[in-house]
Amino acid sequence: MDAMIRTAGLTKRFGRSTAVDEVSLSVGPGEIYGFLGLNGAGKTTTIRMLLGMIKPSAGASYLFGEKVNAARRDLWSKVGCLVEMPSLYPELTVYENLEVVRRLRRLNGTHWIEEAMEKLRLTPYRNRKARHLSLGNGQRLGLAKAMLHKPAVLVLDEPTNGLDPAGIVEVRQLLSELAAREGVTIFISSHLLGEVAKLATRIGIVHQGRLVQESDARELHGHLRKRLLVQVQSQNTEAAQAVLHSRGYAPLLAAADEGGTLATEHADAVANPERIARLLVEADVPPKLLRVEEEDLEAYFLRTIGMDGGMAQ
Amino acid sequence: MNMLTALWAESLKVRRSRIIWISLMAATLLPILFGLVMAGLISSKPALEGQEANMQAYLNQLGVAVSVGGIIGFGFLYSWIFGREYSDRTVKDLLALPVPRFQVVLSKMFVAALWCAALAAWLFAVGCATGWLVSLDGWSGGVIADSLPRYAETTIMVICLSLPIGWIASAGRGYMAALGFVVLMVIAANLGGAIGIESYMPWAVPGLLNGAAGEDKMNLEAVSLALPYVTGAVGIAGTIAWWRYADQT
């Protein structure tokens, strides 16, 4: 299957600083690729290179197998984008903002606008000037502009910024449908792994300009750490620790503020907490509480980029 | 087709903006104010000292107003039409459209030029009407017709001198650098006058042509007269090259 989006050793240097460092990735038709990174990780610079707005210092990016450069205008008729904040003409109405895009994209008929407004629930605001839109509706209008021409590839930079929870769910459903029903390939950047994980089929984590990990979204949960928390009477902590240690469960004190709580990441203990309970009861240090805890996605993300401060509670 | 669509899009943005009304108001009030001063209806004797209060002098003053005020006013319009795309972050969408970038630049420049020309024409028309209303001596169709070619030439020169503002606004990613450039050029033109090289300073040429530095300096060499047009050509080429080749970060 040919890649719809591909980068090969994509690098951008600004003076001595390297914003994007040899990023190579590939996104197939109908995939939703979540491009994850902290602010300043190089997401937007990568996207701008993908869209031909910035020339790479080294490497190249390809859309539909064609090398991207500013002169290849034909590529943009099949690509929709939303880069950073939505870009709107504040003095124009919602309809006029879309009309400008429709005409410049040479789309015949106003049904393109009606459909986009309908999809993004902007119809009630059609005659409202963009300057009077809420942040969320402004974001919807930005998305409507990106999707107006039914592109084969959508490149979205933080598309749920400013949306309320209902709006986030709505946009997530819309993008999922676009990928599933219409085969649209979506490249979406975010700094929220939890959000992207609900949508993306594949996830790439970028940090300090480098692509540090790529994984299938379905396999993501396999990467999350699990641990068993065992709480005993605080005077029994040392005894319980000795019992578990003698059986090879290598318990650790979970945290200073969790007196009497031991934690282990031992796979057998996590899979069979009842065994631990029985062991402690037999040793006369019965547990008050046993709980299997899974690392959350944000903690996993921070651990991947080397910024973890321990497992999130 | 693309070019016409790009022109339509640019004209829509201008038509919907408040700035069109502000500039129209300025182009209306300025000749009225000058006319009232010229007619002595507003006391401003020092401003008229050494000048005859007649229609010819009034039209000359309007020429000076366009050659000096136009550099600031037209420069502001050019800085808005280009700089707003960066301030409103709409430039990203323009760059990702299947429209050649040179067409976007040319349509912006054309619409801005048209706007400036319309303002100058309106200013002249209001000036003629004001001269008639305040009964300035020597008001006649002949005087107006005689003044028109130089006024038109001045307007075209000032529009050409505004073209590099698009480049500065694009490179500066907003209005501020462009507005700073306009002010700098006005100061540079005045400094050029102080050291006697004003006829080789493009931004001073329209003023000289209209007698802003005295009648003895109104006869300019061909090189001086060509400078604003050369500046305009450099402005167009620079702006297109910037949009085409520079990193749009």
The secondary structure of chain A as a DSSP string is: ---SEEEEEEEEEETTEEEEEEEEEEE-TT-EEEEE--TTSSHHHHHHHHTTSS--SEEEEEETTEEP-TT-GGGGGGEEEE-SS----TTSBHHHHHHHHHHHTT--STHHHHHHHHHTT-GGGTTSBGGGS-HHHHHHHHHHHHHTT--SEEEEESTTTT--HHHHHHHHHHHHHHHHHH--EEEEEES-HHHHHTT-SEEEEEETTEEEEEEEGGGHHHHS-EEEEEE--GGGHHHHHHHHHHTT---EE--TTSTTEEEE--HHHHH-HHHHHHHHHHTT---SEEEEEE--HHHHHHHHTT---S---
The dihedral built from the CA positions of residue A95, A96, A99 and A101, taken in this order, carries a sign that is: negative
Q: What pLDDT does B179 receive?
A: 93
Q: For residue A87, what pLDDT band results from cuts at 50, 70 and 90?
A: confident
Question: What's the mean per-residue pLDDT of chain A?
Answer: 88
d(CA B74, CA B162): 6
Q: For residue A312, what pLDDT band results from cuts at 50, 70 and 90?
A: very low
Structural contact between residues A104 and A90, judged by C-beta atoms closer than 8 angstroms: no
**Looking up tokens 């650098």, which residue turns up?**
B177
Q: What is the pLDDT of residues A176-215, one digit of tens each?
A: 988 998 899 999 998 887 888 888 999 999 999 999 989 8
Q: What pLDDT does B38 receive?
A: 85
Phi, psi (deg, nearest 5) at residue B248: -100, 80
Question: What's the mean per-residue pLDDT of chain B?
Answer: 90
Residue ranges per structural domain of chain A = 5-215, 226-294
Tell me if A90 and B88 make a contact (CB, 8 A cut-off): yes
Tell me if A106 and B12 make a contact (CB, 8 A cut-off): no
Tokens of B246: 């520079």
Q: What pLDDT does A257 receive?
A: 53
Tokens of A305: 């980029």
- CB contacts of A76 in chain B (<8 Å) are 96-98
- CB contacts of A88 in chain B (<8 Å) are 88, 90
Q: What percent of chain A has pLDDT over 70?
A: 95
Tokens of A225: 């750490």
- CB contacts of B91 in chain A (<8 Å) are 87
Q: For residue B50, what pLDDT band results from cuts at 50, 70 and 90?
A: low
d(CA B132, CA B33): 14
**Does position B45 have pLDDT exceeding 60, yes or no?**
no
**Does position A256 have pLDDT exceeding 70, yes or no?**
no
What residues in chain B have their Cβ under 8 A from chain A's Cβ atoms? 1-2, 5-6, 8-9, 12-13, 16-18, 88-93, 95-101, 244-245, 247-249
Structural contact between residues B55 and B140, judged by C-beta atoms closer than 8 angstroms: yes
Tokens of A102: 């429709």
Tell me if B89 and A105 make a contact (CB, 8 A cut-off): no
What is the pTM for the complete model shown? 0.84
Q: What pLDDT does B3 receive?
A: 85
Smallest CA–CA separation between B120 and chain A, in Å?
A: 25
**Does position B135 have pLDDT exceeding 80, yes or no?**
yes
Q: What is the pLDDT of residues A11-63, one digit of tens each?
A: 999 999 999 999 999 999 999 999 999 888 999 999 999 999 999 999 999 99
Q: What pLDDT does B23 receive?
A: 95
Element (DSSP H or E) covering residue B102: helix B101-133
Q: What pLDDT does A46 receive?
A: 96
Q: For residue A219, what pLDDT band results from cuts at 50, 70 and 90?
A: confident
Q: What pLDDT does A313 receive?
A: 39
Residue in B with minimal Cα distance to A145? B93
Name the A residues in 3-42 with CB < 8 Å from any B CB. Answer: none
Closest listed residue to residue B5, CA positions, set A106, A96, A71, A70: A106
Q: Where are the alpha helices (DSSP H) in B65-100?
A: 70-87, 91-95
Tell me if A79 and B2 make a contact (CB, 8 A cut-off): no
The dihedral built from the CA positions of residue A101, A103, A107 and A112, taken in this order, carries a sign that is: positive
d(CA A211, CA A280): 45
Q: How many CA atoms lie within 13 A of A273 on its CB side?
A: 19
Q: What is the pLDDT of residues B2-39, one digit of tens each?
A: 788 999 999 999 999 999 999 999 999 999 999 998 88
Q: What pLDDT does A255 receive?
A: 55
**Does position A311 have pLDDT exceeding 70, yes or no?**
no
Domain A5-215 listed as CATH 3.40.1380.10: no
Structural contact between residues A35 and A16, judged by C-beta atoms closer than 8 angstroms: no
Q: What pLDDT does B21 receive?
A: 93
pLDDT (average), residues A274-278: 91
Smallest CA–CA separation between B117 and chain A, in Å?
A: 23
d(CA B69, CA B57): 17
Residue in A with minimal Cα distance to B245? A70
Q: What is the pLDDT of residues A284-305, one digit of tens each?
A: 999 998 988 888 778 888 888 8
Q: What pLDDT does A148 receive?
A: 96
Q: For residue B48, what pLDDT band results from cuts at 50, 70 and 90?
A: low
Strand, helix or coil for residue B113: helix
**Does position B185 have pLDDT exceeding 70, yes or no?**
yes
Q: What pLDDT does A259 receive?
A: 66
Smallest CA–CA separation between A74 and chain B, in Å?
A: 6
Pairing mode, strands A32-36 and A185-190 = parallel
- CB contacts of B248 in chain A (<8 Å) are 48, 53-54
Tell me if A106 and B90 make a contact (CB, 8 A cut-off): no
- CB contacts of B12 in chain A (<8 Å) are 92, 96, 100
Tell me if B89 and A84 make a contact (CB, 8 A cut-off): yes
Q: What percent of chain A has pLDDT over 90?
A: 53
Smallest CA–CA separation between A106 and chain B, in Å?
A: 8
**Does position A247 have pLDDT exceeding 90, yes or no?**
no
Predicted ipTM? Answer: 0.86
Q: What pLDDT does B198 receive?
A: 87
B99: nearest CB among A71, A73, A96: A73
Q: For residue A110, what pLDDT band results from cuts at 50, 70 and 90?
A: very high
The architecture CATH gives domain A226-294: 2-Layer Sandwich (3.30)
Q: What percent of chain B has pLDDT over 90?
A: 69
Tokens of A3: 């890649």
B100: nearest CB among A52, A73, A79: A73
Report the length, in residues, of chain A: 313
**Does position A105 have pLDDT exceeding 50, yes or no?**
yes
**Does position B51 have pLDDT exceeding 80, yes or no?**
no
Structural contact between residues A96 and B16, judged by C-beta atoms closer than 8 angstroms: yes
